[in-house]
Amino acid sequence: MCRLLGYLGSKIQLDYLLYKPEHSLLVQSYQPKEMTSGVVNADGLGIGWYHTEQNVDAFTYKSTLPIWNDTNLPQLSRYIESRCVLGYVRSATAGQALDISNCQPFRDKRLLFIHNGYIDNFRKSLYRPMRELLNDEVYQSIDGNTDSEHIFALLVNELKSSPDSSLEQALQKTLMTVTNLAKLHQVSFSANIIIGDGHRLVASRYAYGSNSPTLYWLRDDPLYPDAVIIASEPLFEGNWNSCKNSSILTVEENLDVKVDQL
């Protein structure tokens, strides 16, 4: 199980999210408290962010190193500032390659996507059924072989086929599509997801046939005023809210938070 982080709010240096909190993403990589499988998150990392002064595609930094061994990220995170950030440390599912193409966030222009969860026996169960639902453009865009990237591909496919859909609608349809396939092929899956577009965050806590991994959110903490943080585990002591099972959480640009049950 990976560890996820999403931030939307006042412009912030990345190191204030990745390194400075007492239970930062760095600490969660080697000493997680609430993982349901695995012990550490040592199979890579990824950070995504946006340049707030320009309407350009999202930026990403990825590595197959454990975050504690990455010597470049501490320096970059002191230099880069953003008001919308997604972060991730990876615990690879057995059988999935330790390769940069399998590191998140996955990106489609301004869209960023990170996933904590799994599809049971993915290569033998839902790999082909999911790919058969994709248009050729999205099919060809898949670089890796993870269940996470294929869920992202279904989301992008939904947005391209229904361009008037909101991120929430597209995410809900994607989760229902995977659920229907999982029922048909009698497998379980879980999908804690955070999506960003530079202006909003949309997240899910969801599972079929298994327990949902933990996911929390917090708004306007004294340490991080004018901001919302979403995380697999609380980064510090504070008034964290546990996301409900089978729910979609939306953080608007003005930081209003809405939770809808699926």
Assign residue 260 a region (left: φ > 0; alpha: ψ between -120 and 50; beta: otherwise): beta
Q: Which residue, chain included where needed, has tokens 């996301």?
A: 243
The C-alpha atoms of residue 52 and residue 60 are separated, in whole angstroms, by 14
Helical segments of 80-146, H only: 122-125, 127-131, 136-141
2 is catalytic: yes
E strand or H helix at 158: helix 147-161
**Residues in CB range of 162: below 8 A, 6 or more apart:** 169, 170
Strands 189-196, 201-205: parallel, antiparallel or unpaired by DSSP? antiparallel
Count the alpha carbons within 13 Å of 174 in the hemisphere toward its beta carbon. 34
Orientation angle between helical segments 147-161 and 167-185, nearest 10 degrees: 130
Beta bridge partners of 242: 216
Q: Are 193 and 203 in contact (CB under 8 A)?
A: yes
DSSP-derived letter for residue 210 is S
Q: Counting beta carbons within 10 angstroms of the beta carbon of residue 232, is it exposed (0 to 12), middle (13 to 18) or buried (19 or more)?
A: buried
List active site positions: 2
